[in-house]
Amino acid sequence: MTTAQNNVDIIHRNYSSRQVVVTTNLIINPGDLVYWDPSNFTLTPLTAISQVSGQFFGLSTQGNASLIYPDDADTPGVMVLVRGVVWMQSTPGETYTPFQAVTVGADSQTVTKAGVTSPNSVGWVWCDTPTVPRAQSATPVPEMQGGAAQARIPIQLNPQHPVAAAI
């Protein structure tokens, strides 16, 4: 039996079980959306909608460039979050509704709803919960979140690569 006092917080996150290969000609930053490049056998920052379908892997949780000592070699791979909710930069001028599909935007840390289709979706928007309960109305209005410069929105990741999707 449950009561209103039962606080339950379930966070479901899945990471790649091992680091994924990154070649030395690429720089991957923490928070980059990444895809698997099957031609070059490397994880690559996601920068175009055409790279999503069947290849989108997830979100890099670490960078591959040596940031501490300049003479240290870059790391040969990075860990990737393949399932979970992440905060991404929104596209200025866009308004997002709950569970709206989004795809890669202007760079590997930005999302947009423009041009999104099921095969090129990187995830779905989770709008913020209202701070005050709202009453049911005759004309339901969804919670909305506006995009702006430096505004971040929560996204449920939707990996498209077969291995990432299976994790």
Q: What local confidence, expressed as pLDDT, does residue 153 receive?
A: 86
| C-alpha–C-alpha distance, residues 140 and 115, integer Å | 27
pLDDT digits (tens, 9 = 90+) for 38-92: 999 999 999 999 999 999 999 998 888 766 666 766 678 888 999 988 889 899 9
Q: What local confidence, expressed as pLDDT, does residue 102 receive?
A: 96
Q: What is the CATH number of the domain that holds 102?
A: 2.40.300
Residue 1 lies in a domain: no
Residue 59 lies in a domain: yes
Instruction: Provide the whole-model pTM.
Output: 0.81
Beta strand extents in the chain (DSSP E only): 14-15, 20-21, 33-37, 42-45, 56-60, 77-78, 80-83, 85-89, 95-96, 101-104, 111-112, 123-125, 145-146, 152-157
Residue 80 lies in a domain: yes
Q: Is the pLDDT of residue 165 over 50?
A: yes
Say how many domains are in the chain: 1
Residue 151 lies in a domain: yes
Residue 7 lies in a domain: no
Q: Is the pLDDT of residue 7 over 50?
A: no
Residue 2 lies in a domain: no
How would you write 22-58 as a 3-class SS string? CCCCCCCCCCCEEEEECCCCEEEECCCHHHCCCCEEE
Q: Is the pLDDT of residue 5 over 50?
A: no
DSSP state of 114: T
Residue 9 lies in a domain: no
Domain that holds residue 124: 14-132+142-166
Q: What local confidence, expressed as pLDDT, does residue 147 receive?
A: 67
How many helices (H) and strands (E) in the chain? Answer: 1, 14
pLDDT digits (tens, 9 = 90+) for 131-153: 777 677 655 566 666 666 668 88
pLDDT digits (tens, 9 = 90+) for 97-126: 889 999 999 999 999 999 999 999 999 998
| C-alpha–C-alpha distance, residues 119 and 60, integer Å | 21
Residue 5 lies in a domain: no
